[in-house]
Structure 1
Amino acid sequence: MIKAVKKGPILEITVPKKWAGITLNHLFQDDWHAPKKLVHEWRMSRTAGIKGRTEGWEAPLSPGDIIQLPLFYSEQPPDFAEFMDIDVLYEDDFVLVLNKPAGMDTHPSQPGDKNSLQNAAAFYLMMKGEPILPFHIHRLDKDTTGAILFAKDRLSAAILDQQLEKREVKRTYLALVHGLMKKKQGTIKEKIGSDRHHGSRRRVSASGKDAVTHYEVVKLFPEKNMTLVKCRLDTGRTHQIRVHLSFIGHPLAGDVLYGGRPILPRQALHAWNLRFPHPLTEEWIEVHAPVMDGIIPEEQN
């Protein structure tokens, strides 16, 4: 675990043994892949460096050195924040995980839009004395509930984006589907592309993008002819779980777009578990999001 501490607008990181001999340039560009604009700001302001040392960014690091970075400052547009009740699942100085309710977008689709989780997160942080624009690392459909990860600063956002691309951010969903699934577990590897006959729908398509969904039966409900399924994603295509489960003949309950019957007010899909390496400390964080509206039964242990 790497020691990373917020001190006002400054981030202080204690250099671990594994960084011995590398340079700040290497750390910023090759390890973190920090945004070029952010690195340029640090370079031009001459405020990023090693505490108590005058050497430049090409000097080798030593274990115990303290890296100081000007990282925390306001990035929030004045009209962005909006009060809404939110369920905070995890928070520290760098990341925030919220439990998104149904009927709410993850983020505004265009400037000025309100009623999104990002609006609510900005207001929550502003009321805590952190007037910043939180960065959403992934998305959920408007009527899908559950855990969404936000970063509080540009460096953490960049590192988490890379982790998501490298499939280090692990997401597990609960889905209630029509029919009794015969296989206890399986993997769906079907490419997903746009449906040219329907602007908002996706479909399995040979010309689409690779998509991999792993599923496991949690519980059968014979009296309702339904199955509770746990799904893990290797990819993050739009509507991936909804498309894949419909493709194998088990559409989500309430998901009329993909063949589900309208027996529920929304599609029965919930982002139940989120596991990821902390962008700065590298400690693994695991968060469970309880189902808030009772649409989906909680996992049976």
Structure 2
Amino acid sequence: MKNYTIRINIHEQWAQTSIQDLFRTTLHAPKKLIHELRMEKAVFLNGSQVNWTSKVAANDELLILLPEDCNDSVIPAYESLQVLFEDEHLLIVNKPAGITTHPNEMNETNTLANLVAGYLQKKDDHRKIKHVQRLDKDTSGALLFAKHSLSHAILDRMLHDHQIERIYVALADGLIQESRFTVNQPIGRDRYHPTKRRVSKSGQQAKTDFQVCNTYPNKQLTLVECKLHTGRTHQIRVHLSHIGHPLAGDRLYGGRPIFPRQALHARKLAFIHPFTLEKLEITAPFLDEPSIFEARL
């Protein structure tokens, strides 16, 4: 384990907040992490060790020494990786279809986590960074990683509190008549299939908003924009299948095999950066060749 230094500039709206309240109330950092930082005397204000009851002023600089695990469990892979946004706190990359988000077995090298590890190690960064959300193997698009334990805790809480907007585009089988609709149906495991999910009264609450962007009568396809309110496994796939319009290419849920994968792409992530307070709206280009979506948007 190694200490990594992160810096946070104090914004005007944080002024006159105590260090303690800044971590607890403003950043909503976990109590355990705050305790560790206090015990290790790991927080400095303008170069001096902090008194946790002292108040910050605009343009002050917080310096935090965070203990971070080295990334020795994920084998780095050095193939190309499309980075959509990066700073010292987080990383957003464009995941291609056909690879999983992270290894499920020892010695795997063909996952997105391997590519991220290789990308960072080229910059001599050996931290074990963590994904905040995940995408199915055959879903492409924007995927968010946290680069240190504080940002991971905060971004994970933001995702849970619906403060990270996730917009997908999909091609569904058939012609959907409604222009806008919401599917609010719980999702649980399929008792007959180990990886499949289904709408189930005993499942976890799941809500997806849909907006029809276009219909293609000749192809019997509907282009929809999907907004997730929850993050259940296969959520969009299950909800569209449930209403009789499975994703094109999604063989698991009954979609016609007209594409080599399910036609689902994580198009956009939008949220307020927890440390810079910048409004981020990150759009992921389509990676398929030939493109499944491009000609239809």
C-alpha deviations, 1:96-141, integer Å up to 9, x for none?
1111111101111244332111111011011022222221010000
Stretch of structure 1 that moved more, 135-144 or 259-268: 259-268
1:25 matched to 2:20: yes
Q: Which residue number in structure 2 is paired with residue 4 of structure 1? A: none
1:196 matched to 2:191: yes
Aligned to 2:255, the other structure's residue is in SS state coil
Change over 3 Å in CA distance of 1:299–1:243 after alignment to 2: farther
Decide whether the 8 Å contact of 1:202 with 1:239 is kept in 2: yes
Task: State how far apart, in whole Å, the 1-side matches of 2:74 and 2:283 are.
Answer: 31
C-alpha deviations, 1:227-247, integer Å up to 9, x for none?
111111111111010011111
Task: State how far apart, in whole Å, the 2-side matches of 1:181 and 1:22 are.
Answer: 51
Task: State how far apart, in whole Å, the 2-side matches of 1:46 and 1:137 are.
Answer: 28
C-alpha deviations, 1:11-54, integer Å up to 9, x for none?
33232333333322222233323345543442233231322556
Task: State how far apart, in whole Å, the 2-side matches of 1:75 and 1:257 are.
Answer: 37
Decide whether the 8 Å contact of 1:11 with 1:72 is kept in 2: no
Stretch of structure 1 that moved more, 65-74 or 255-264: 65-74
Stretch of structure 1 that moved more, 96-105 or 111-120: 111-120
Q: Percent identity?
A: 45
Which of 48, 54, 58 is residue 63 of structure 1 equivalent to? Answer: 58
Q: CA deviation at 1:261?
A: 1.6
Decide whether the 8 Å contact of 2:47 with 2:63 is kept in 1: no
Decide whether the 8 Å contact of 1:190 with 1:211 is kept in 2: yes
Task: State how far apart, in whole Å, the 2-side matches of 1:297 and 1:129 are.
Answer: 37
Stretch of structure 1 that moved more, 270-279 or 137-146: 270-279
Residue identity opposite 1:83 in structure 2: Y
Q: Which residue number in structure 2 is paired with residue 3 of structure 1? A: none
Task: State how far apart, in whole Å, the 1-side matches of 2:48 and 2:113 are.
Answer: 39
5+ long unaligned stretches in structure 2 = none
Stretch of structure 1 that moved more, 149-158 or 48-57: 48-57
Task: State how far apart, in whole Å, the 1-side matches of 2:73 and 2:226 are.
Answer: 39
Residue identity opposite 2:136 in structure 1: D
1:226 matched to 2:233: no
Q: Which residue number in structure 2 is paired with residue 98 of structure 1? A: 93
Which of 148, 165, 175 is residue 153 of structure 1 equivalent to? Answer: 148
Q: Which residue number in structure 1 is paired with residue 114 of structure 2? A: 119
Q: Which residue number in structure 2 is paired with residue 298 of structure 1? A: 294
Q: Report matched runs for 1:1-301 at 5 Å.
A: 9-36=4-31, 38-51=33-46, 53=48, 56-71=51-66, 75-77=70-72, 80-293=75-288, 294-298=290-294
5+ long unaligned stretches in structure 1 = 1-7
Change over 3 Å in CA distance of 1:55–1:219 after alignment to 2: closer
Decide whether the 8 Å contact of 2:68 with 2:128 is kept in 1: no
Residue identity opposite 1:297 in structure 2: F
Q: CA deviation at 1:299?
A: 7.7
Change over 3 Å in CA distance of 1:68–1:218 after alignment to 2: same
Q: CA deviation at 1:295?
A: 4.7
Residue identity opposite 2:176 in structure 1: M
Decide whether the 8 Å contact of 2:43 with 2:49 is kept in 1: no
Task: State how far apart, in whole Å, the 2-side matches of 1:33 and 1:143 are.
Answer: 34
